[in-house]
Structure formats: C-alpha cells, structure tokens
Amino acid sequence: MRVPPYYRSPNWQRVFFGVVIGAIISWCVFLFMFGKMQEKQAQTIHKQEELIAELEKEKNIWQEDYKKLNDKNLELLTVQEIVVKLTNANKYHIDSLSEFQVTEDIKEDINMVLAKDLNLVFNSRELLKKAIENRPVRINNKRYKLIIREMVIYTTLIIRIELEIAE
C-alpha cells in the first residue's frame, strides 16, 4: 500500500496552504486578544496599587490624628464620679441611714469637682481636704469631726473618711 501523492494535486496544496495561513492568522488574533487582556489587567493592577498607596497614606494620617487625640485626652481626663466611704462607722454604732446621709452631704459639698480636669482637682486637693475636714457632722445628737485617711484622684474620686468625736 502506498500513500497517494497529494502534494502534487493543486486542490490539496490549496487546502494545506489554507490550513497554514489560518493557523498563522488565528495565532496572530490570539496574541492580539491576549495582549489586550494583559494590558487591561496591568492597568487594573496599577490603579489598585495607586489606590492602596493612597489609602495607606490616609490611614497613617488618621492613626497619627488618633494618637494625638488620645494623648490630648489623657491630659484632659475628668472626674466623673465621687465615692465617699466612712471606714469606722461601726465603731461609733452609726446606722446605715446616717452614714448614707453623711456621705451624700460630703458629695454635695465637693460635687463642684465633677467634670473637672484631673490636674485641676489634683492641684486643689488641699482645698478639698480642708473643705471636708473643717465641716463638723451631727449624727444622733453627737458632733463628729471628719478626718480624711485616703484620697484617690482619678476619673473616680475616692475618699475614705474616719469619724472622731468632736470636743
């Protein structure tokens, strides 16, 4: 058996030539389309890189502003609550209602420090101390003197007070 010599026939030569030309043209079309898609992808990546760089700059600016605000707020902390505690009320057999009234009276006397800057309250701590200690308290027809044993100044002002019988 023998393969027929198609290369001599002009019809078969045209078919083979058409296949080769078609392959070359399709390869060129493929390269063109692939190049266009890659160019579009490269542009998209470039735009995204620019956007990421811009957003990172913006984020850094926000973080710096946030840090500055936090530092400023730390400097400007305010007193938000006052807690007064009588430590030796049991020693003088003082009932809880009288103890509550005394603590509330003291809170009313020093409530002007609420919402004030911690520096201001710290600088006026001696004035607060004198305002509390120079005030005699009357409980069950007995006069008591208040002595501050502990004062913690932060967002919550905590004052621990002892009673002594006034003479």
Give the H or E element holding residue 109.
Answer: helix 96-109
Instruction: At 125, give phi and psi (nearest 5°).
Output: -65, -35
Cα–Cα distances in angstroms (integers) from residue 55 to residues 51, 61, 68, in the given order: 6, 10, 20
Q: Give the per-residue pLDDT at 7.
A: 63
CB-based contact 129:151 (threshold 8 Å): yes
Cα–Cα distances in angstroms (integers) from residue 154 to residues 111, 112, 116, 128, in the given order: 15, 15, 11, 14
Whole-prediction pTM value?
A: 0.58
Distance CA 42, CA 61 (A): 29
Bridge-based pairing state of the strands 137-139 and 81-86: unpaired
Tens of pLDDT, residue by residue, the chain (167 residues): 566 666 677 887 888 899 999 999 999 999 999 999 999 999 999 999 999 999 999 999 999 999 998 888 776 788 889 999 999 989 988 999 999 999 999 999 999 998 888 888 999 999 999 999 998 899 888 999 999 999 999 889 999 999 998 87
CA nearest to 125, candidates 155, 159, 101, 102: 159
Domain ranges of the chain: 6-75, 81-165
155: helix, coil or strand?
A: coil
First-to-last CA distance in the chain?
A: 140
Instruction: Please give the structure tokens belonging to residue 157.
Output: 């002002």
